[in-house]
Structure 1
Amino acid sequence: MSLVKLTADATQREERQRLEMACQEYGFFYLVEHGIPKEQIAEAIEAARRFFALPQSIKERYGHASQIVYPTIARGYSPLHGEILHPEAGGDPKEVFDLGIENEGDRRPFAGRTRFPDDALAPGFARSLLALQGTVLNGVVPQLGNALADLIEMEQGWFRRHFSPPTLGQRVIRYPARGGTCAKHTDGGFFTLLLQEELPTRSLQVWLRGRWMPVPSLPDSLVVNLGDMLQALSDDRFKSTPHQVAHSGQTDRISFPFFVYPDVDAHLTSRQGRHAFSAAEMMLRNMESVETGNGGGRARELQ
């Protein structure tokens, strides 16, 4: 996979070509010089470990049924085997806590507030995750979003108009040692940013050229993968590549994916007009598919 940077010289022709090639050939790339402090990531990892170490009965107080957003599975805790990303695989052996942008009083789908454990139960958990969210939303998302919109030849200001604010699906995932998995699927959004723990085990795998390829965790990098919405908006020029996780390491693995979608009210059309969709309808359809055990993204197409 390619290394891509979005610094001051990222507008140079060579950087643009590298990004475009990665989107067309792989649908995955490493983003370096992303500006997220190591200390912030480390703090979130430690806080996540403390939360997942809590008794099961306490974690389940913050499950989907306790959340007040719509759909409820967009926020809160999901236990081991609680999510099905490919129907043939059954429930994934992983634990998850989902959150989003905290906007009290917003009654639209995927909006509202997350019910977190307080600091006495899970010290630093909510605070560190929301701090990480702020850094990602204010620094990484606008730069990358504008660069991708430019590559698919949208008019100037397109990304700002349709992603102000974006809809964000943020997760913290614990993959248990020696067997944590996430079944094969694609992501439904515009793009996904993934912060991985820097472990020697190559747990993340992507489907390229007819086989599963491991994606090592490179120091000081984000993994970026393109989602189904971006594939459609590029008139299928860019790839939303299937991927999975098979964690065989001797320790648990913590990861932080950020799923970036348009504003939930957006109606989008590709440049050539081959694809048009309502963001809310596409997002709700994908969430319903996961909730009913039919898989994530284009999982049903994957054999």
Structure 2
Amino acid sequence: MAGRVVPAISLKDYESRREEITKQLVEAAETAGFLTLIDHGITIEEIEAQFALSKAYFDLPKEIKDKVPHNLTTNNGYEYYVRKHFPFLAVLLCPIKGPSTGSIDQKESFWLQRNSEWPSDEDVPTFRAKTLNFIGKCEDISNKVLTCLSIALGFEEDYFCKAMDTHQPDNLSQMRLLHYPASEGAQGTWRAGVHTDIGCLTLLFQRDGEDGLEICPGRESHSSFAVGDTFFPLPAETGPIVVNIGDMLMAWSDDRLKANFHRVRAKESGHSPDRYSIAYFNTGRKDVIMQGPLKKYPAITCNEYFLHHTKIQFGHNAKKKQEAAAAEKPSVVAATA
């Protein structure tokens, strides 16, 4: 079933095939909101090496990982089993039997950016240098996809690349390393509750045999919570990159490109192995003004949009995050991308 919902799109010969690739990307983004990229230029060996670094980090004692704790202002740092969703979303999002989305997600993660605080080389040798190199590869792939989507929406071809330029001081794009610990007899409990991604475009790396990701196509607007209860499994595979549209890009495209709900669940019975994943979130820079070509929604800064939707989806921390953001000195307003 999932194979009919989520297409695999090759980036081979990108420059000569850009028109064809754009058509395929847009078709996937307008329907499933999910796709997988192949022939993207990152080798399986490079992906496995990054997962090895991630595992080396998560294998550290918690007191070592806590040297870089999660920061509510920047959203960077180490998180451990943090509650992610309001209980009321369980009814709005997905009327299925089982634990509510208000339960604590069974995972730990590390959020980071180019200029954020990093684990020391003493704790995880070569972690920063090699991860920065991997981030650079994610940025290159993201820019190819974003260029295609900019053209499809009628913007200048570098429009979204400029809007998500990670070398600008107001950038919000992040990488997140995730670890879902093994469990016995979890019977379909949440490893990550039902949610959409808040940003623009997510690149997700998975590993063979570490399944659990499920998607639910069918959302009509970026503010809609009514999605039904039909989820499709997306098997984990080392190599292909799972790409999905986020809320911000759905709004920015006047709801043309779909940010659909997804979740990670433990197996219905028996042993659920450790699951590692790596997500790269492309998010519009704080001071960039976002508005779709049809102007369906009022113009708003990406930071304002991000804070508002953080409150909806991560309500337990929203007040603290807003207070922390308000305490920051106002930044220089950047030119609209």
Contact kept in structure 1, 2:107 and 2:180, CA below 8 Å = yes
CA distance in 1, matches of 2:64, 2:313: 24
Q: Decide which of 23, 47, 51 is 1:17's aligned counterpart.
A: 23
Of residues 175, 179, 182, the one that matches 1:177 is: 182
TM-score by length of 1: 0.83
Match of 2:154 in 1: 153
- Bigger shift: 120-129 or 204-213? 120-129
Question: How do residues 67-216 of structure 1 correspond to structure 2 at under 5 angstroms?
Answer: 67=71, 71-72=73-74, 74-80=75-81, 82-87=82-87, 88-102=101-115, 113-114=116-117, 116-137=118-139, 139-165=140-166, 167-178=172-183, 179=186, 181-199=191-209, 201-208=210-217, 210=228, 211-216=230-235
For residues 207 and 294 of structure 1, do their structure 2 counterparts lie closer, same or farther at Cα, with a shift above 3 Å needed?
Answer: farther
1:226 aligns with 2:226: no
Q: Aligned-pair distance for 1:289?
A: 4.7
1:293 aligns with 2:306: no
More strand by share: 1
In structure 2, give the amino acid aligned to 1:146.
T
| d(CA) in 2 for partners of 1:173, 1:160 | 26
Match of 2:259 in 1: 240
Shift of 1:284: 2.5
Match of 1:106 in 2: none
Aligned to 1:278: 301
DSSP 3-state at the match of 2:47: helix
Q: CA deviation at 1:86?
A: 4.6
- The offset of 1:264, in angstroms, is 1.8
- Number of aligned residue pairs: give it: 275
**What is the identity, as a one-letter code, of the residue corresponding to 1:227?**
G
**CA 1:160–1:46 in 2, change beyond 3 Å: closer, same or farther?**
closer
Q: Which residue of 1 aligns with 2:62?
A: 56
Show structure 1 runs of 4+ deviating over 6 A: none
Q: How far apart, in 1, do the equivalents of 2:238 and 2:175 lie?
A: 21
- Measure how far apart 1:238 and its partner are: 1.6
State the AA in 1 paired with 2:245: L
C-alpha contact 2:201 2:244 (8 A) present in aligned 1: yes
Work out whether residues 200 and 248 of structure 2, in 8 Å CA contact, stay in contact via their aligned partners in 1: yes
Does the 8 A contact of 1:86 with 1:294 survive in 2? no
In structure 2, how many angstroms separate the alpha carbons of the residues matched to 1:170 and 1:244?
18
Task: Give the fraction of aligned pairs with identical amino acids, expressed as a percent.
Answer: 27
Q: CA deviation at 1:34?
A: 1.1
User: 1: distance between equivalents of 2:175 and 2:282?
Assistant: 9
Give the alignment's Cα RMSD to 1 decimal: 2.2
